[in-house]
Structure 1
Amino acid sequence: MTADEQVAEWKALVEWVVWIHDLYELSREERLPLCWPQHPGLVEEFRSLKAWRNAIYNSPDAAAAAHTARSWHGELRQTIAAITSFWAPTCRAGHKDATVLSEAHPDLAERWQRVGPPLMNSSPTAEPGAAISDEISDQDMTTALKAGHAQPHSRSMPYYTRLDGTWWTRSTDGTTWLRCTDPAHHAQLDDTSARMRAADTARDQLDHQ
Protein backbone atom coordinates (compact mmCIF):
# COMPACT_ATOMS: atom_id res chain seq x y z
CA MET A 1 0.00 0.00 0.00
CA THR A 2 1.03 3.60 -0.50
CA ALA A 3 1.49 5.86 2.52
CA ASP A 4 -1.95 7.41 1.95
CA GLU A 5 -3.56 3.97 1.61
CA GLN A 6 -1.92 2.84 4.86
CA VAL A 7 -3.30 5.88 6.68
CA ALA A 8 -6.80 5.26 5.31
CA GLU A 9 -6.62 1.53 6.09
CA TRP A 10 -5.46 2.17 9.65
CA LYS A 11 -8.18 4.75 10.25
CA ALA A 12 -10.83 2.31 9.01
CA LEU A 13 -9.43 -0.51 11.17
CA VAL A 14 -9.37 1.61 14.33
CA GLU A 15 -12.96 2.71 13.74
CA TRP A 16 -13.96 -0.92 13.20
CA VAL A 17 -12.22 -2.11 16.38
CA VAL A 18 -13.91 0.68 18.37
CA TRP A 19 -17.26 -0.46 17.01
CA ILE A 20 -16.51 -4.14 17.76
CA HIS A 21 -15.28 -3.17 21.25
CA ASP A 22 -18.60 -1.53 22.07
CA LEU A 23 -20.88 -3.92 20.19
CA TYR A 24 -19.47 -7.04 21.85
CA GLU A 25 -18.86 -5.38 25.24
CA LEU A 26 -15.14 -6.07 25.21
CA SER A 27 -14.58 -3.62 28.06
CA ARG A 28 -15.82 -6.33 30.43
CA GLU A 29 -12.86 -7.83 32.28
CA GLU A 30 -10.64 -5.79 29.93
CA ARG A 31 -11.12 -8.41 27.22
CA LEU A 32 -9.49 -6.11 24.70
CA PRO A 33 -6.29 -4.48 26.02
CA LEU A 34 -6.06 -0.83 25.10
CA CYS A 35 -2.54 -1.44 23.80
CA TRP A 36 -3.79 -3.69 20.97
CA PRO A 37 -2.29 -1.39 18.27
CA GLN A 38 1.16 -2.17 19.71
CA HIS A 39 0.76 -5.91 19.05
CA PRO A 40 1.35 -6.50 15.31
CA GLY A 41 0.01 -10.06 15.43
CA LEU A 42 -3.22 -8.89 17.06
CA VAL A 43 -3.52 -6.10 14.49
CA GLU A 44 -3.32 -8.73 11.72
CA GLU A 45 -5.97 -10.82 13.51
CA PHE A 46 -8.35 -7.86 13.51
CA ARG A 47 -7.56 -7.03 9.88
CA SER A 48 -8.49 -10.56 8.83
CA LEU A 49 -11.61 -10.59 11.01
CA LYS A 50 -12.68 -7.26 9.52
CA ALA A 51 -12.16 -8.49 5.94
CA TRP A 52 -13.98 -11.76 6.68
CA ARG A 53 -16.93 -10.01 8.29
CA ASN A 54 -17.25 -7.59 5.38
CA ALA A 55 -17.27 -10.52 2.96
CA ILE A 56 -19.98 -12.29 4.97
CA TYR A 57 -22.40 -9.41 5.33
CA ASN A 58 -21.90 -8.20 1.79
CA SER A 59 -22.70 -11.66 0.42
CA PRO A 60 -25.71 -11.81 -1.92
CA ASP A 61 -26.40 -15.33 -0.67
CA ALA A 62 -28.12 -14.64 2.66
CA ALA A 63 -28.63 -18.32 3.49
CA ALA A 64 -24.94 -19.10 3.08
CA ALA A 65 -23.92 -15.98 4.97
CA ALA A 66 -25.96 -17.06 8.00
CA HIS A 67 -23.81 -20.17 8.48
CA THR A 68 -20.60 -18.30 7.83
CA ALA A 69 -21.58 -15.59 10.30
CA ARG A 70 -21.77 -18.21 13.04
CA SER A 71 -18.25 -19.37 12.12
CA TRP A 72 -17.05 -15.76 12.21
CA HIS A 73 -18.47 -15.20 15.69
CA GLY A 74 -16.75 -18.36 16.91
CA GLU A 75 -13.45 -17.11 15.51
CA LEU A 76 -13.96 -13.72 17.18
CA ARG A 77 -14.48 -15.42 20.55
CA GLN A 78 -11.35 -17.53 20.04
CA THR A 79 -9.32 -14.44 19.17
CA ILE A 80 -10.53 -12.53 22.23
CA ALA A 81 -9.91 -15.55 24.45
CA ALA A 82 -6.37 -15.84 23.08
CA ILE A 83 -5.47 -12.21 23.82
CA THR A 84 -4.56 -12.66 27.49
CA SER A 85 -2.91 -16.05 26.98
CA PHE A 86 -1.17 -15.53 23.64
CA TRP A 87 -1.11 -12.04 22.13
CA ALA A 88 -0.80 -9.82 25.22
CA PRO A 89 -0.31 -12.09 28.26
CA THR A 90 1.58 -9.52 30.35
CA CYS A 91 -0.29 -6.34 29.45
CA ARG A 92 -2.96 -6.22 32.14
CA ALA A 93 -0.55 -4.31 34.35
CA GLY A 94 0.62 -2.12 31.48
CA HIS A 95 1.90 -2.72 27.97
CA LYS A 96 5.15 -4.61 27.56
CA ASP A 97 6.87 -4.81 24.18
CA ALA A 98 7.79 -8.21 22.87
CA THR A 99 11.42 -9.05 22.20
CA VAL A 100 12.60 -8.39 18.65
CA LEU A 101 14.56 -11.37 17.37
CA SER A 102 17.28 -9.31 15.67
CA GLU A 103 17.99 -7.49 18.92
CA ALA A 104 17.93 -10.49 21.25
CA HIS A 105 19.76 -12.86 18.89
CA PRO A 106 21.44 -10.87 16.09
CA ASP A 107 22.90 -13.92 14.31
CA LEU A 108 19.98 -16.34 14.74
CA ALA A 109 18.20 -15.63 11.46
CA GLU A 110 21.45 -16.23 9.57
CA ARG A 111 21.91 -19.54 11.40
CA TRP A 112 18.36 -20.55 10.45
CA GLN A 113 19.17 -19.74 6.81
CA ARG A 114 22.21 -22.02 6.91
CA VAL A 115 20.20 -24.92 8.38
CA GLY A 116 17.70 -24.79 5.51
CA PRO A 117 14.23 -26.38 5.40
CA PRO A 118 13.76 -29.78 7.11
CA LEU A 119 14.08 -32.76 4.78
CA MET A 120 12.67 -36.17 5.69
CA ASN A 121 13.89 -39.43 4.17
CA SER A 122 10.26 -40.29 3.47
CA SER A 123 9.55 -37.07 1.59
CA PRO A 124 8.30 -37.67 -1.97
CA THR A 125 10.52 -36.51 -4.78
CA ALA A 126 9.27 -33.26 -6.26
CA GLU A 127 8.44 -33.34 -9.93
CA PRO A 128 10.45 -30.81 -11.98
CA GLY A 129 8.37 -27.77 -12.76
CA ALA A 130 5.44 -29.00 -10.64
CA ALA A 131 3.21 -26.22 -9.34
CA ILE A 132 -0.02 -25.97 -7.42
CA SER A 133 -2.85 -25.66 -9.92
CA ASP A 134 -6.26 -24.12 -9.43
CA GLU A 135 -7.82 -26.58 -11.86
CA ILE A 136 -7.80 -30.37 -12.18
CA SER A 137 -9.59 -32.71 -14.55
CA ASP A 138 -12.78 -34.54 -13.65
CA GLN A 139 -10.95 -37.82 -14.28
CA ASP A 140 -8.24 -36.95 -11.73
CA MET A 141 -10.86 -35.94 -9.16
CA THR A 142 -12.78 -39.17 -9.75
CA THR A 143 -9.58 -41.15 -9.20
CA ALA A 144 -8.87 -39.24 -5.97
CA LEU A 145 -12.43 -39.88 -4.74
CA LYS A 146 -12.20 -43.62 -5.46
CA ALA A 147 -8.83 -43.82 -3.71
CA GLY A 148 -10.17 -41.99 -0.66
CA HIS A 149 -7.82 -39.04 -1.10
CA ALA A 150 -10.76 -36.69 -1.72
CA GLN A 151 -14.00 -36.41 0.20
CA PRO A 152 -17.34 -35.10 -1.07
CA HIS A 153 -18.94 -32.23 0.80
CA SER A 154 -22.09 -34.30 1.48
CA ARG A 155 -24.62 -36.39 -0.41
CA SER A 156 -26.72 -33.27 -1.00
CA MET A 157 -23.78 -31.26 -2.36
CA PRO A 158 -21.52 -33.68 -4.29
CA TYR A 159 -20.39 -30.87 -6.58
CA TYR A 160 -18.05 -29.69 -3.81
CA THR A 161 -15.12 -31.89 -2.79
CA ARG A 162 -12.24 -31.49 -0.33
CA LEU A 163 -8.81 -32.49 -1.63
CA ASP A 164 -5.32 -31.66 -0.31
CA GLY A 165 -6.76 -29.48 2.44
CA THR A 166 -8.80 -27.26 0.15
CA TRP A 167 -12.26 -27.21 -1.42
CA TRP A 168 -12.95 -27.74 -5.11
CA THR A 169 -16.12 -27.20 -7.12
CA ARG A 170 -17.12 -28.87 -10.37
CA SER A 171 -17.15 -26.59 -13.41
CA THR A 172 -20.41 -25.91 -15.22
CA ASP A 173 -19.46 -28.21 -18.12
CA GLY A 174 -18.48 -31.03 -15.72
CA THR A 175 -15.05 -31.60 -17.29
CA THR A 176 -12.89 -29.93 -14.63
CA TRP A 177 -12.82 -29.00 -10.95
CA LEU A 178 -11.87 -25.50 -9.79
CA ARG A 179 -10.17 -24.61 -6.51
CA CYS A 180 -12.24 -22.48 -4.10
CA THR A 181 -9.92 -19.65 -3.08
CA ASP A 182 -12.21 -17.37 -1.04
CA PRO A 183 -11.53 -17.79 2.75
CA ALA A 184 -15.14 -16.97 3.68
CA HIS A 185 -16.43 -19.54 1.19
CA HIS A 186 -13.97 -22.08 2.59
CA ALA A 187 -15.20 -21.49 6.13
CA GLN A 188 -18.80 -21.82 4.99
CA LEU A 189 -18.08 -25.14 3.25
CA ASP A 190 -16.24 -26.47 6.32
CA ASP A 191 -19.20 -25.58 8.52
CA THR A 192 -21.97 -26.87 6.25
CA SER A 193 -20.06 -30.05 5.37
CA ALA A 194 -19.74 -31.04 9.03
CA ARG A 195 -23.43 -30.41 9.61
CA MET A 196 -24.71 -32.12 6.47
CA ARG A 197 -22.43 -35.16 6.78
CA ALA A 198 -23.63 -35.58 10.36
CA ALA A 199 -27.20 -35.43 9.03
CA ASP A 200 -26.33 -38.06 6.40
CA THR A 201 -24.95 -40.36 9.11
CA ALA A 202 -28.01 -39.88 11.31
CA ARG A 203 -30.29 -40.62 8.35
CA ASP A 204 -28.37 -43.83 7.59
CA GLN A 205 -28.69 -44.96 11.18
CA LEU A 206 -32.45 -44.39 11.10
CA ASP A 207 -32.75 -46.32 7.84
CA HIS A 208 -31.02 -49.32 9.39
CA GLN A 209 -33.16 -49.40 12.52
Structure 2
Amino acid sequence: MTDTDYQPIGRIKGHPRVRRPKLPRTRTQLSAGRGKIAAGGLVEWHDMSPSERAANWAKLCNWVTWLYDRYELSVESRLPDCWAEHPGMIEELWALMVWRFEIYGSELPAGQAARYWHTELRVVTANAASYYASNCRTGHRKEYAKAADDQDLQKRWNEADPTLGIPKEMLPTENAALAGAPGTMAAEAMRAALASGAASVLSPAIPEYVRHEGAWWLDAGEDTWVLVTDAAFAEKLDASAAAMEAATAATQRRRAAKGLFGDARADHDRDARN
Protein backbone atom coordinates (compact mmCIF):
# COMPACT_ATOMS: atom_id res chain seq x y z
CA MET A 1 0.00 0.00 0.00
CA THR A 2 1.39 3.43 -0.96
CA ASP A 3 0.84 6.73 0.75
CA THR A 4 -1.75 7.62 -1.86
CA ASP A 5 -3.85 4.59 -0.92
CA TYR A 6 -5.10 6.26 2.24
CA GLN A 7 -8.54 7.76 1.88
CA PRO A 8 -9.87 10.70 3.93
CA ILE A 9 -11.92 9.43 6.84
CA GLY A 10 -15.18 11.15 7.59
CA ARG A 11 -17.38 10.95 10.67
CA ILE A 12 -18.28 7.46 11.76
CA LYS A 13 -21.73 6.37 10.74
CA GLY A 14 -24.01 3.89 12.39
CA HIS A 15 -23.75 4.90 16.03
CA PRO A 16 -24.41 1.91 18.28
CA ARG A 17 -27.53 1.68 20.34
CA VAL A 18 -26.14 2.69 23.69
CA ARG A 19 -28.37 1.95 26.62
CA ARG A 20 -27.72 3.84 29.79
CA PRO A 21 -26.88 1.45 32.61
CA LYS A 22 -29.96 1.02 34.73
CA LEU A 23 -29.39 1.87 38.39
CA PRO A 24 -30.73 -0.39 41.00
CA ARG A 25 -32.93 2.46 42.24
CA THR A 26 -34.56 2.69 38.76
CA ARG A 27 -35.28 -1.02 38.71
CA THR A 28 -37.12 -0.83 41.99
CA GLN A 29 -39.62 1.87 41.15
CA LEU A 30 -43.15 0.72 41.94
CA SER A 31 -45.65 0.87 39.11
CA ALA A 32 -48.35 3.39 39.87
CA GLY A 33 -51.63 2.02 41.13
CA ARG A 34 -50.72 -1.64 40.81
CA GLY A 35 -48.55 -2.18 43.83
CA LYS A 36 -45.98 -4.15 41.88
CA ILE A 37 -42.27 -3.77 41.60
CA ALA A 38 -40.12 -4.30 38.54
CA ALA A 39 -37.62 -7.14 38.44
CA GLY A 40 -34.20 -6.31 39.76
CA GLY A 41 -34.42 -6.59 43.52
CA LEU A 42 -33.93 -4.24 46.42
CA VAL A 43 -32.20 -0.89 46.46
CA GLU A 44 -30.73 0.85 49.47
CA TRP A 45 -32.40 4.08 50.56
CA HIS A 46 -29.06 5.88 50.36
CA ASP A 47 -28.67 4.78 46.72
CA MET A 48 -31.89 6.54 45.68
CA SER A 49 -32.03 10.07 44.35
CA PRO A 50 -34.13 12.49 46.44
CA SER A 51 -37.13 12.25 44.11
CA GLU A 52 -36.95 8.44 44.08
CA ARG A 53 -36.74 8.35 47.87
CA ALA A 54 -39.83 10.54 48.18
CA ALA A 55 -41.79 8.37 45.73
CA ASN A 56 -40.72 5.08 47.31
CA TRP A 57 -41.38 6.36 50.82
CA ALA A 58 -44.96 7.23 49.86
CA LYS A 59 -45.32 3.76 48.31
CA LEU A 60 -44.02 2.10 51.46
CA CYS A 61 -46.35 4.10 53.71
CA ASN A 62 -49.33 3.19 51.53
CA TRP A 63 -48.34 -0.45 51.53
CA VAL A 64 -47.82 -0.54 55.31
CA THR A 65 -51.27 1.02 55.71
CA TRP A 66 -52.71 -1.87 53.69
CA LEU A 67 -50.64 -4.40 55.63
CA TYR A 68 -51.63 -2.85 58.97
CA ASP A 69 -55.33 -3.17 58.21
CA ARG A 70 -55.33 -6.41 56.22
CA TYR A 71 -53.41 -8.33 58.90
CA GLU A 72 -54.97 -6.53 61.89
CA LEU A 73 -51.58 -5.39 63.12
CA SER A 74 -53.07 -2.84 65.49
CA VAL A 75 -54.18 -5.76 67.71
CA GLU A 76 -51.77 -5.93 70.64
CA SER A 77 -49.67 -3.36 68.80
CA ARG A 78 -48.23 -6.09 66.58
CA LEU A 79 -46.82 -3.30 64.46
CA PRO A 80 -46.05 -0.27 66.64
CA ASP A 81 -47.49 3.00 65.34
CA CYS A 82 -43.99 4.46 65.57
CA TRP A 83 -42.48 2.03 63.04
CA ALA A 84 -41.65 4.94 60.72
CA GLU A 85 -39.40 6.41 63.40
CA HIS A 86 -37.26 3.27 63.76
CA PRO A 87 -34.62 2.83 61.02
CA GLY A 88 -34.51 -0.94 61.47
CA MET A 89 -38.25 -1.28 61.03
CA ILE A 90 -38.11 0.80 57.84
CA GLU A 91 -35.57 -1.61 56.40
CA GLU A 92 -37.49 -4.73 57.51
CA LEU A 93 -40.78 -3.53 56.03
CA TRP A 94 -39.15 -2.30 52.80
CA ALA A 95 -37.61 -5.75 52.24
CA LEU A 96 -40.86 -7.46 53.19
CA MET A 97 -42.81 -5.34 50.72
CA VAL A 98 -40.42 -5.96 47.81
CA TRP A 99 -40.35 -9.69 48.56
CA ARG A 100 -44.15 -9.90 48.49
CA PHE A 101 -44.33 -8.03 45.18
CA GLU A 102 -41.75 -10.43 43.73
CA ILE A 103 -43.80 -13.44 44.88
CA TYR A 104 -47.25 -12.27 43.80
CA GLY A 105 -45.99 -10.49 40.68
CA SER A 106 -44.12 -13.52 39.37
CA GLU A 107 -45.24 -15.18 36.15
CA LEU A 108 -45.40 -18.41 38.14
CA PRO A 109 -46.46 -17.40 41.67
CA ALA A 110 -45.82 -20.16 44.20
CA GLY A 111 -47.99 -20.90 47.20
CA GLN A 112 -44.98 -22.22 49.11
CA ALA A 113 -43.14 -18.91 48.66
CA ALA A 114 -46.23 -17.07 49.92
CA ARG A 115 -46.30 -19.32 52.98
CA TYR A 116 -42.64 -18.49 53.67
CA TRP A 117 -43.49 -14.80 53.35
CA HIS A 118 -46.30 -15.07 55.92
CA THR A 119 -43.99 -16.90 58.31
CA GLU A 120 -41.47 -14.09 57.96
CA LEU A 121 -44.22 -11.51 58.50
CA ARG A 122 -44.91 -13.06 61.91
CA VAL A 123 -41.18 -12.95 62.72
CA VAL A 124 -40.97 -9.29 61.73
CA THR A 125 -44.02 -8.25 63.74
CA ALA A 126 -42.80 -10.22 66.76
CA ASN A 127 -39.45 -8.45 66.58
CA ALA A 128 -41.09 -5.09 66.01
CA ALA A 129 -42.37 -4.79 69.55
CA SER A 130 -39.71 -6.83 71.35
CA TYR A 131 -36.60 -5.64 69.52
CA TYR A 132 -37.11 -2.41 67.62
CA ALA A 133 -39.74 -0.70 69.75
CA SER A 134 -39.48 -2.45 73.09
CA ASN A 135 -40.00 0.81 74.99
CA CYS A 136 -42.83 2.09 72.82
CA ARG A 137 -45.67 -0.23 73.82
CA THR A 138 -48.48 1.34 75.82
CA GLY A 139 -48.88 -1.65 78.12
CA HIS A 140 -52.61 -2.00 77.49
CA ARG A 141 -54.69 -3.58 74.74
CA LYS A 142 -55.81 -1.08 72.16
CA GLU A 143 -59.00 -1.56 70.25
CA TYR A 144 -58.69 -2.44 66.58
CA ALA A 145 -58.28 0.68 64.51
CA LYS A 146 -57.68 1.23 60.81
CA ALA A 147 -54.58 3.19 59.88
CA ALA A 148 -56.28 4.39 56.69
CA ASP A 149 -58.86 6.25 58.77
CA ASP A 150 -56.38 7.84 61.15
CA GLN A 151 -55.32 11.12 59.55
CA ASP A 152 -52.91 12.01 62.36
CA LEU A 153 -51.22 8.64 62.02
CA GLN A 154 -50.99 9.02 58.24
CA LYS A 155 -49.45 12.47 58.65
CA ARG A 156 -47.00 11.15 61.23
CA TRP A 157 -45.88 8.30 58.99
CA ASN A 158 -45.55 10.34 55.79
CA GLU A 159 -43.67 13.19 57.46
CA ALA A 160 -41.08 10.85 58.99
CA ASP A 161 -37.59 10.69 57.43
CA PRO A 162 -36.81 7.40 55.62
CA THR A 163 -33.08 8.18 55.79
CA LEU A 164 -32.90 8.01 59.58
CA GLY A 165 -29.57 6.50 60.60
CA ILE A 166 -27.95 6.97 57.16
CA PRO A 167 -24.93 9.36 57.11
CA LYS A 168 -25.70 12.38 54.92
CA GLU A 169 -22.52 11.92 52.89
CA MET A 170 -23.91 8.61 51.61
CA LEU A 171 -26.96 10.29 50.10
CA PRO A 172 -26.47 11.33 46.46
CA THR A 173 -27.89 14.56 45.13
CA GLU A 174 -30.46 14.60 42.33
CA ASN A 175 -27.84 15.66 39.76
CA ALA A 176 -25.47 12.89 40.83
CA ALA A 177 -28.03 10.11 40.42
CA LEU A 178 -26.16 8.56 37.48
CA ALA A 179 -22.64 9.31 38.65
CA GLY A 180 -20.71 6.24 39.70
CA ALA A 181 -23.09 3.76 38.06
CA PRO A 182 -21.44 0.73 36.44
CA GLY A 183 -20.37 1.53 32.89
CA THR A 184 -20.56 5.30 33.33
CA MET A 185 -18.05 8.06 33.98
CA ALA A 186 -18.65 11.64 35.02
CA ALA A 187 -17.72 14.29 32.44
CA GLU A 188 -15.39 16.00 34.92
CA ALA A 189 -13.41 12.77 35.42
CA MET A 190 -13.16 12.24 31.66
CA ARG A 191 -11.92 15.79 31.12
CA ALA A 192 -9.21 15.17 33.70
CA ALA A 193 -8.20 11.94 31.96
CA LEU A 194 -7.98 13.72 28.60
CA ALA A 195 -5.94 16.55 30.08
CA SER A 196 -3.45 14.14 31.67
CA GLY A 197 -3.08 12.06 28.53
CA ALA A 198 -4.67 8.99 30.13
CA ALA A 199 -7.45 9.18 27.54
CA SER A 200 -7.58 10.30 23.91
CA VAL A 201 -10.34 11.24 21.48
CA LEU A 202 -10.88 9.21 18.32
CA SER A 203 -9.99 12.37 16.39
CA PRO A 204 -10.33 16.12 16.92
CA ALA A 205 -13.24 16.01 14.46
CA ILE A 206 -14.91 13.15 16.35
CA PRO A 207 -14.53 14.05 20.04
CA GLU A 208 -17.60 12.13 21.18
CA TYR A 209 -15.62 8.86 21.25
CA VAL A 210 -12.72 8.49 23.67
CA ARG A 211 -10.28 5.66 24.29
CA HIS A 212 -9.68 5.22 28.02
CA GLU A 213 -8.25 2.31 30.01
CA GLY A 214 -8.39 -0.04 27.03
CA ALA A 215 -12.04 0.64 26.19
CA TRP A 216 -14.13 3.08 24.15
CA TRP A 217 -16.45 5.58 25.79
CA LEU A 218 -19.29 7.57 24.27
CA ASP A 219 -20.37 11.06 25.32
CA ALA A 220 -24.00 10.37 26.30
CA GLY A 221 -24.78 13.96 27.32
CA GLU A 222 -25.97 15.13 30.72
CA ASP A 223 -22.31 15.32 31.86
CA THR A 224 -21.96 11.55 31.55
CA TRP A 225 -19.81 9.20 29.47
CA VAL A 226 -21.05 5.67 28.81
CA LEU A 227 -18.91 2.60 28.15
CA VAL A 228 -19.30 1.18 24.61
CA THR A 229 -20.28 -2.45 25.22
CA ASP A 230 -21.14 -3.35 21.60
CA ALA A 231 -18.12 -5.51 20.67
CA ALA A 232 -18.66 -5.16 16.93
CA PHE A 233 -18.87 -1.39 17.12
CA ALA A 234 -15.83 -1.25 19.41
CA GLU A 235 -13.88 -3.16 16.73
CA LYS A 236 -15.08 -0.64 14.16
CA LEU A 237 -13.77 2.17 16.34
CA ASP A 238 -10.44 0.36 16.73
CA ALA A 239 -10.15 -0.02 12.96
CA SER A 240 -11.01 3.64 12.40
CA ALA A 241 -8.45 4.74 14.96
CA ALA A 242 -5.76 2.58 13.33
CA ALA A 243 -6.61 3.95 9.88
CA MET A 244 -6.46 7.52 11.17
CA GLU A 245 -3.07 6.89 12.78
CA ALA A 246 -1.76 5.40 9.53
CA ALA A 247 -3.11 8.33 7.51
CA THR A 248 -1.50 10.78 9.90
CA ALA A 249 1.83 8.97 9.65
CA ALA A 250 1.64 8.98 5.85
CA THR A 251 0.91 12.70 5.81
CA GLN A 252 3.89 13.35 8.06
CA ARG A 253 6.14 11.31 5.76
CA ARG A 254 4.96 13.24 2.72
CA ARG A 255 5.59 16.54 4.45
CA ALA A 256 9.03 15.42 5.54
CA ALA A 257 9.88 14.29 2.02
CA LYS A 258 8.57 17.52 0.54
CA GLY A 259 10.70 19.51 2.94
CA LEU A 260 13.81 17.48 2.08
CA PHE A 261 13.36 17.79 -1.69
CA GLY A 262 12.47 21.43 -1.32
CA ASP A 263 15.78 22.16 0.41
CA ALA A 264 17.71 20.24 -2.29
CA ARG A 265 16.01 22.19 -5.09
CA ALA A 266 16.75 25.49 -3.36
CA ASP A 267 20.43 24.54 -3.18
CA HIS A 268 20.41 23.60 -6.88
CA ASP A 269 18.87 26.94 -7.85
CA ARG A 270 21.47 28.86 -5.86
CA ASP A 271 24.28 26.93 -7.50
CA ALA A 272 22.81 27.65 -10.94
CA ARG A 273 22.60 31.35 -10.25
CA ASN A 274 26.20 31.43 -9.07
Question: Structure 1 length as normaliser, TM-score?
Answer: 0.43
> Larger radius of gyration, structure 1 or 2?
2
With a CA cutoff of 8 Å and minimum separation of 6, indicate the structure with the bigger relative contact order.
Answer: 2
